[in-house]
Structure 1
């Protein structure tokens, strides 16, 4: 019988701890919850990109690049949504043409799932705030389930990323419902 030390167990779950810390800091000053809608577009574009290039190891660098682009666009007072939607549509076209998004299993589901997450994000920003925050929370809950499917299958994205993203999505969704104003 092997025993696992507490530090080892904690270290093994670093994506969960990182997600919880990020969510706690983020929710500390949460607004109406709509500020998290962009995560649905970033997730859609990121999962598509990693699927099209067929490199799960690229997941974390892709996330950092997408968040960086969004941050720069926001600093320049540019709405990041159009560029994220164009990127996602372009990735769908490239992935369908190249065949990466036509493979069986999770890769074939990336296009429709991404379009749903993008649609929920856009819809959330297009309706009254009270309705939009529930759409964002629902979208994040759905994406947490999507992350769980990827984590369980250990496919498409890095498993550590699926864990981190799922915990972050779930925590932010609950925060939007119970903490955001």
Structure 2
């Protein structure tokens, strides 16, 4: 802002910069903008919590990686999550469905019951219900759910039916393929919660690459 003031016969020009309204620190940052910048960074980091959670989970698992075949169960479980949420047609149910399936797996193992056949039966039953009700016959991603899930499950079962040296590559391929599937859902923001698609995609990608690098 510029103000003119007369003094005697002359005119004195005085300037007052609008930047003086904010206090500038020695580093050149202003008090008004510096907190906002940090808040934006913190908000961006917090917004990516599914990624951080997936990276932490993957790091813990890769630190004690076996032959890679242990993740066949994960493939079947994640396929079941997608199927169940699709048939329910409730994206908000994504995380609760995941928690319920994980709890079921833990309980079955405590009872010395192999959870793999149980999850496969559940997935097949959900596909049947979804086709009868029509949820899995709707156009777009809905119609692709059952063939994609059955393909992932078949790949996981095939990995258990061949030598471990071959099976681990099938598991890695399944995880990387499912990471692409997650990315498609994240971009579309349909079927499952976007936070789940992000978490699942990062987890699948890191585990798949980890198997190829550490075990392959």
TM-score of the pair, normalised by structure 2: 0.81
Task: State the partner residue of 1:21.
Answer: 56
2:112 corresponds to which of 53, 71, 77:
77
Query: Over residues 23-76 of structure 1, what are the superposed CA-to-partner deviations in whole Å (9 max), with x where a residue is unaligned?
Result: 001111110001111111101111000000100000001011111111221222
> RCO higher in 1 or 2 (8 Å CA, sep ≥ 6)?
1
**CA distance in 2: counterparts of 1:17 and 1:179, whole angstroms:** 21
Ranges in structure 2 where 5+ consecutive residues have no aligned partner = 1-35
Higher strand share: 2
Confirm whether residue 51 of structure 1 aligns to residue 103 of structure 2. no
**CA distance in 2: counterparts of 1:26 and 1:5, whole angstroms:** 32
Q: Which moved more, 1:125-134 or 1:66-75?
A: 66-75
Task: State the partner residue of 2:102.
Answer: 67
Higher helix share: 1
User: Which SS does the other structure have where 1:135 is aligned?
Assistant: helix
Task: State the partner residue of 1:153.
Answer: 188
- Between the two proteins, the alignment pairs up a number of residues equal to 180
Task: State the partner residue of 1:110.
Answer: 145
Q: Which has the larger radius of gyration?
A: 2
User: Which SS does the other structure have where 1:168 is aligned?
Assistant: helix
1:137 corresponds to which of 172, 178, 187:
172
Task: State the partner residue of 1:6.
Answer: 41
TM-score of the pair, normalised by structure 1: 0.96
Ranges in structure 1 where 5+ consecutive residues have no aligned partner = none
RMSD: 1.3
Shift of 1:121: 0.5
User: Which SS does the other structure have where 1:37 is aligned?
Assistant: helix
